[in-house]
Amino acid sequence: MFPELNSILNSTPDSFKSSDFILVSDRRADASFLIHHYLSFYLRAGCKVCFLGLVQSFSHYSAVSQRLGVSLAQAREKGQLVFLEGLKDSVGVLLQEDTSQETQPLSYVRSPGAGLEGLFRFVECSMRQSGDGDAGESWGPPVLLIDDLSVLLSLGVSVGAILDFTLYCQATMCSELQGNMVILVRCEEEDADDVDEEGSNLLQRGLVHQCNLALHVEGLPTGYCRDIHGQMEVWWRQRGENIYNQRKIFHFKVHDKGASFFARGTSSAVL
Amino acid sequence: MAAPVRGMAGSISIGNTTSFQKKTRSKLVSIPGTRPSVQNGQLLVSSGVSSLDYVIGGGLAVGTLLLVEEDRYDSYSRMLLKYFLAEGVVCGHELFLASARDHPDQIMQELPSPIVDDVAGMKISEGQSQPSDPENPDTMKIAWRYQNQPKVQIALASSVRFGHYYDVSKTMEPELRQAAKCHSFYQLQETPVTTGSSLIKVFVKTSLYFQVLASASKVRNVLRLGLHSLGSVLWGDDVCCKDNPAHCHALTTFLYILRGLLRTSLSVAMVTVPSHLIQNRAVMGRIIRLSDTAIALESFKGSEKETNPLYKDYHGLLHVRQLPRLNCLSCEVPDTKDLAFKLKRKQFTIERLHLPPDLSETVSRVSKTELAAGCGTTATGNKHLDF
């Protein structure tokens, strides 16, 4: 959890907006540090978190969260965190012989054309279980975190299927269960003359229209800098009845134990 | 992942051999040829080139995938692959080599021979101060106050010796080579399959998967995988010949599955991809993001840069496309991205390229690309004269 980011977005683990769909995207940069922020943020807030880790292993997130002060192993044991180990389990799914279980969460690895229904059922099932859990545990609103939705494009899933999946998730998580959703999408560089029909840019545009808050991470337009790792654009979009459309750009630097955000031109290396 | 694997492997279960565990207990994993990283305790192996180890943050982390974008004639990327395999032979690691163009045995026969007594021979400037000696001709007479300052090093090399040096003009002794366990996969010898995607599935199913599993269950040793020219036409993939390849996700699915396999075992993979043949920029971007470390080689051979006086000492440029963030938030950020390499007989050096300021009147000013922020009706560009 990054305190400076909390003050920029005006949210703390004690008071944050519900029914929020936050889209984290990047272009030629790495925005995964924001996913670590949200993971520790929502675990601290006491929410029930469903994390789809499609690109890294559990131990990676666990090691980073340790530095941010949250223990993922404990959260998983207590039932607060449901972690889908996408990267490692997909190997087994691809190579297993029986095709009987088509609605497994990772069935898209074998048959990418069939869509993401299995994945959605997994999310829905793990989130609804909080209602009829044990008497001693009552977690906060459910939260869905997806680390890297755009890797599904690399596996052959179509953009339409992914957008359907996010729409179903939004309807269930945000509207029905009053929970939050944070999705990371990694984009390519825009090719001016090449209209990318099946690309991650199309996916990102579709998701930005659905979201409430868009955080876009890019490198600095002036080139590579060792002390400022990039710029992050915060776009406050529609929120209930109000239509905001307010954008701000911040520079950031990622440390070992966090990230610091500052207004453009106020980096400590410069001042 | 604790489910036992059925099938040809019998009752081998995937043991708990993930390499990303914190080594807080006293028993350290003592596999020859590896060392823990100073940043985050990752287990590192050397890539065979000490300058490259320095550039990518100390070495290759076990369980990760190194992607090398080939240079135009595949000379230096092939050299890097041979260094990688030779380092595996010298350290006693297991090897797995897959190629489509040349037979793996041929590549193995071309491995450079290690320089055994190189402690006296190699002079690596480690940035330590030299004591001033009356007989030492380097004693400064005028700027003597700067005598004890550390020497600025342009050759990138780590101070701790990790990895070996190789003599490119000689090939490795057959005895040394045969002492290493090497598995190979030659694409042209396998039974032909119809489409590219099922080819890759067959490949994964038969050779790779069980080699990796087998290595994980026996004596703990690192398995080095070298995959040469993946994505080229000889692998049955059309990603290099068409703008919109029919099975463009065959290669990316394979890389995803490969990385998943690597994470569950003590293996390191080096994959070379002929990126100059891949026309679709989006696919290349995806391939880079699916690997952990990505570098690109650009050789000057045959291009107009060969005669450029700025580059006369070097054989090519090295671009670091991506560095991994493993078990930590921040990665090893290099202080400069202008790197050039040269291949000498005894060393493959990567150095910082110091370009003198170009003050001529005909200097070309590269216009900065327009930035389009996200989506939406207002496309705000960011030209370099934006106030």
Quick one: average pLDDT of A136-148? Answer: 83
Residue A5 within any structural domain of the chain: no
Partner A, chain B 261-300, Cβ-Cβ below 8 Å: 261, 263-264, 281-282, 285-286, 289-290
For residue B234, list its beta bridge partners: none
pLDDT for residue A161 = 92
CB of A26 closer than 8 Å to CB of A186: yes
Residue A49 within any structural domain of the chain: yes
Q: Which residue has the higher pLDDT, A3 or B161?
A: A3
Residue A68 within any structural domain of the chain: yes
Kindly tell me if the per-residue pLDDT of A41 is higher than 90. Answer: yes
Percent of chain B with pLDDT over 90: 11
Residue A184 within any structural domain of the chain: yes
CB of B229 closer than 8 Å to CB of B27: no
Q: What is the pLDDT of residues B136-167, one digit of tens each?
A: 556 777 877 777 766 665 555 433 357 788 88
Kindly tell me if the per-residue pLDDT of A62 is higher than 60. Answer: yes
Q: What is the pLDDT of residues B52-101, one digit of tens each?
A: 998 888 889 998 999 999 998 888 999 999 999 999 888 888 888 888 88
Total count of domains within chain A: 1
B122 Cβ neighbours under 8 A, 6+ residues apart: B115, B165, B346, B347
Residue A270 within any structural domain of the chain: no
Beta pairing class for A180-187 and A140-147: parallel
Q: Which residue has the higher pLDDT, A132 or B209?
A: B209
Q: What are phi and psi of A89, to 5 degrees?
A: -75, -20
Q: Output A118-123 pairs: Cβ under 8 A, ≥24 positions apart.
A: A119/A52, A119/A165, A120/A165, A120/A168, A120/A169, A122/A84, A123/A50, A123/A52, A123/A169, A123/A172, A123/A173
* CB contacts, 8 Å: A40 with chain B: none
Kindly tell me if the per-residue pLDDT of B303 is higher than 70. Answer: yes
Instruction: For residue B142, give Cα distances in angstroms to B146, B149, B179.
Output: 9, 14, 56
Quick one: average pLDDT of B28-36? Answer: 73
List the one residue out of A96, A17, A243, A209 whose CA is nearest residue B257. A96
Q: What is the pLDDT of residues B107-130, one digit of tens each?
A: 999 898 888 764 333 333 333 333
Terminal Cα-to-Cα distance of chain B (whole angstroms): 54
pLDDT for residue B153 = 54
CATH no. for residue A55?
3.40.50.300
CA B276/CA B278 separation, integer angstroms: 6
Q: How far is B76 from chain A (nearest CA, A)?
A: 26
Partner B, chain A 61-100, Cβ-Cβ below 8 Å: 63-64, 67, 85, 87-92, 94-97
Q: How confident is the model at residue B337 (pLDDT cuts 50, 70, 90)?
A: confident
Residue A220 within any structural domain of the chain: no
Residue A77 within any structural domain of the chain: yes
* CB contacts, 8 Å: A60 with chain B: 20, 326-327
């010898």: which residue's tokens?
B189
| Low-confidence winner among A91-100, B170-179, B191-200 (lowest mean pLDDT) | B191-200
Kindly tell me if the per-residue pLDDT of A11 is higher than 70. Answer: yes
Q: What number of other Cβ atoms are within 10 A of residue B11's Cβ? A: 7
CB of B255 closer than 8 Å to CB of B291: yes
Query: Which residue in the set B290, B337, B382 is minimally distant from A221, CB to CB?
Result: B382
Q: Which residue has the higher pLDDT, A177 or B119?
A: A177
A241 Cβ neighbours under 8 A, 6+ residues apart: none
Residue A20 within any structural domain of the chain: yes
Which domain covers residue A89, as residue numbers?
11-96+104-189+196-214
Q: What share of chain A is helix, strand, coil (3-state, %, to 5)?
A: 35, 25, 40
Q: What is the pTM of this model?
A: 0.80
> Are A94 and B263 an interchain contact pair (Cβ–Cβ within 8 Å)?
no
Instruction: For residue B197, give Cα distances in angstroms to A55, A105, A147, B238, B359.
Output: 21, 22, 25, 11, 52
List the one residue out of B66, B60, B56 whose CA is nearest residue B47. B60
ipTM of the complex, rounded to two decimals:
0.91
Q: What is the pLDDT of residues B347-362, one digit of tens each?
A: 888 888 765 444 444 4
